Amino acid sequence: MFNKNKTYEQHDNEKISFYRNSVEDLNSQDYLLADINVDICVIGGGLTGISTALNLSKKGYSVVLCEARKIGWGASGRNGGQLGIGMRKDQYTVEKMLGLSHAKELWKLGLESVDEVKTLIKEYNINCHLVNGIMSSACFPKDIDEFKFELEYMSKNYNSDGYKFFNSSEIKNEINSDTYLAGLLDTYSYHLNPLKLTIGLAKILQKYKVRIYEDTAVENIFEKKDSVEIYTKKGVIKSNKVVVACNGYLDNLIGSKRNKFMPINNYIIATEPLGEEKAREIIKNNYAVCDTRFMLDYYRFSEDWRMIFGGGETVTSKFVKDSGTLKFVRKRMLKVFPELEKYKIDYSWGGSLAITVNRLPHFGTLMNNKLFYAFGYSGHGLALSVLAGKLIAEKINGKEDRFNFFADINHMSIPFGNLLRRSIYSTAVLYYRFRDFLNG
Ligand SMILES: Cc1cc2nc3c(=O)[nH]c(=O)nc-3n(C[C@H](O)[C@H](O)[C@H](O)COP(=O)(O)OP(=O)(O)OC[C@H]3O[C@@H](n4cnc5c(N)ncnc54)[C@H](O)[C@@H]3O)c2cc1C
């Protein structure tokens, strides 16, 4: 049995983001008014939950989805919009951690995750402004050799032809900043408006008769002999299986699993629109960009040519207030692009993501294969969460090999459980900030 304390309230930071203003809320008209019976109950209205519900309802299961706030309220509706292949770790490191054949399977799944999103966008005609290319940009001299190594290694061992190296003058030509020493372009990856994707997919769920209960927080999950009972203030859902898809907002809903990740708050600002001409003076080919620091900057232009600039993390349970967000993220942006000083910041917001110790996602089951979960994408969850839903649905439907490529990964707990994890992580964050400073 799991009891949830209502601590996710601490993560409230629903400032009106650029994304919220760019698309209408789903405003589901489904309400849980009495106790019900279903095949599957999904908890969490982000991309992991929505993708799980979509895949299972297509297979004929009766599915309901409970979301504590509204669809896309979590990271899926607040992120940087960088639809990257793969994990937070590079392939070479993943091979060292898991062995060659396991790493190769994860590489294939990473490619599939982006393909899956592209297929859904096309199949359901979701207008979320997909643009090709993510550029990694080098902040430190050592990155130049690392980029060259990665390019050669991936081409030799994975037959990859999706990467391209840019030297210092070439990167300056692509990204008009004095900050970077080189670049590595990944053409397998894309960027898009994530809330338009999330709400677009949720609308498809309604066509498959999935009932979506917004403002319906799950408080307890009880295991019964052949079923589970999911308790909310509005009613009890009795289901054969339950899928927990809460990522950085999970808290203690499934007990000590919270110790497998650290919830991090990350922040984004959006400028006023610059116009296409000015935007292309800054990023010539409209790529998304992320740099090589541990506390990285990531940015891109929106569909209406605003600079969407993310960076800066906090680990306290409270969000930085709006004015603070503006100040410290804007400072980071102006360091890279001083010429943006004259542009107004129209929006600033934050969101929580889940970081695991080894930076790989954590999948698993509890309650004798009646409860399924996936979290801990470590900042690389936009495509992976969609894939996670597909793999959870496969597992529930009796095909578990691909789910197990993630479930078999060993995950350390954050030491000392609830007591010291924030202070330990804060110390680590300070250490990495210092390392970024020294390397710079
Ligand atoms: C600021 C920021 C920038 C990011 N940038 C990128 C990026 O550019 N590229 C990338 O790949 N990834 C990025 N990420 C990570 C990515 O957004 C996440 O990994 C991904 O969206 C996780 O999706 P999810 O569905 O698992 O979780 P979420 O989208 O967080 O959804 C979880 C949902 O569960 C709900 N919930 C929680 N508890 C309960 C409960 N008890 N009952 C009912 N509902 C509950 C929450 O309200 C929430 O809506 C970023 C994250 C943040 C915060």
Which of 14, 25, 76 for a ligand 1 pocket mutation test, highest count of atoms within 8 Å of Cβ? 76
Confidence label for 180 from pLDDT (cuts 50, 70 and 90): very high
Q: Are 248 and 263 in contact (CB under 8 A)?
A: yes
CB contact at 8 A, 198 and 50: yes
User: What's at 229, amino acid-wise?
Assistant: E
Which of 135-144, 233-242, 245-254 bottoms out in mean pLDDT, i.e. has the lowest? 245-254
Min mean pLDDT across 6-20, 61-75, 406-420 is at 6-20
For ligand 1, the distance from its centroid to the CA atom of residue 248, given in whole angstroms, is 6
Note the pLDDT of residue 440.
46
pLDDT attached to residue 8: 46
Q: Whose CA is nearest to atom 49 of ligand 1?
A: 74
Residue 171: predicted pLDDT: 98
H runs (alpha helix) in 191-296: 194-207, 276-282
DSSP 176-211: --SS-S-EEEEEEEEE--HHHHHHHHHHHHHHTT-E
Please tell me the distance between residue 79's alpha carbon and the centre of ligand 1 in angstroms: 8
Other C-beta atoms closer than 10 Å to the C-beta of 382 total: 27
pLDDT per residue as tens digits for the range 246-282: 999 998 899 888 889 988 888 999 999 999 999 999 9
Residue nearest to atom 47 of ligand 1 (CA): 68
The residue to mutate among 48, 79, 85, 130, having the most atoms of ligand 1 within 8 angstroms of its beta carbon, is 79
| Cα separation, 403 vs 264, whole angstroms | 25
Q: Is residue 154 over pLDDT 90?
A: yes
d(CA 297, CA 331): 11
Could you tell me the pLDDT band of residue 294, with boundaries at 50, 70 and 90?
A: confident
Give the distance (Å) from ligand 1 centre to CA of residue 45: 9
Distance 383 CA to ligand 1 centre (A): 12
Ligand 1 nearest-atom number relative to CA 266: 1
- Please report the pLDDT score of residue 185 as a whole number: 97
- Calculate how far, in angstroms, residue 407's C-alpha sits from the geometric centre of ligand 1: 20
Atom of ligand 1 nearest to the CA of 354: 19
Condensed to tens digits (0 to 9), the pLDDT of residues 120-138 reads 999 999 999 999 999 999 9
- Report, as an integer, the average pLDDT of 163-173: 98
3-class secondary-structure state, position 9: helix
Query: What is the rounded distance in angstroms from the CA atom of residue 295 to the CA atom of residue 201?
Result: 31
pLDDT-based confidence at 70, cuts 50/70/90?
A: very high
Q: CA 307 to CA 287: how far, in whole Å? A: 12
Site residues for ligand 1, CB cut-off 6 Å: 4, 8, 43-49, 66-69, 73-76, 78-82, 84, 217-218, 245-249, 253, 266, 268, 298, 310, 351-353, 377, 379-382, 385
The token pair that represents 361 in the structure block: 């996602």
Domains and CATH numbers, the chain: 2-78+196-258+358-429 (3.50.50.60), 129-192+263-355 (3.30.9.10)
Task: Kindly report the protein residue whose alpha carbon is nearest to atom 52 of ligand 1.
Answer: 79
Task: Please give the distance, rounded to the nearest whole angstrom, from the Cα atom of residue 339 to the centre of ligand 1.
Answer: 32
- Looking at ligand 1, which residue's alpha carbon is closest to its atom 2? 79
**What spacing in Å lies between the alpha carbon of 352 and ligand 1's midpoint?**
7
Contact 312, 295 (CB under 8 A): yes
Tens-digit pLDDT profile for residues 3-48: 665 544 444 555 679 999 999 999 999 999 999 999 999 999 999 9
Instruction: Look up residue 175 and give its DSSP letter.
Output: B
CA–CA gap between residue 263 and residue 13 (Å, rounded): 14
Which residues make Cβ contacts (< 8 Å) with residue 283, sequence separation at least 6? 174, 175, 176, 289, 300, 301
Mean pLDDT lowest for which of 27-41, 58-72, 221-235, 311-325?
A: 311-325
Task: Please give the distance, rounded to the nearest whole angstrom, from the Cα atom of residue 406 to the centre of ligand 1.
Answer: 18
What local confidence, expressed as pLDDT, does residue 319 receive?
Answer: 64
Per-residue confidence (pLDDT) for residue 4, from 0 to 100: 61
pLDDT at 161 over 80: yes
Distance 93 CA to ligand 1 centre (A): 25
The pLDDT of residue 422 is: 57
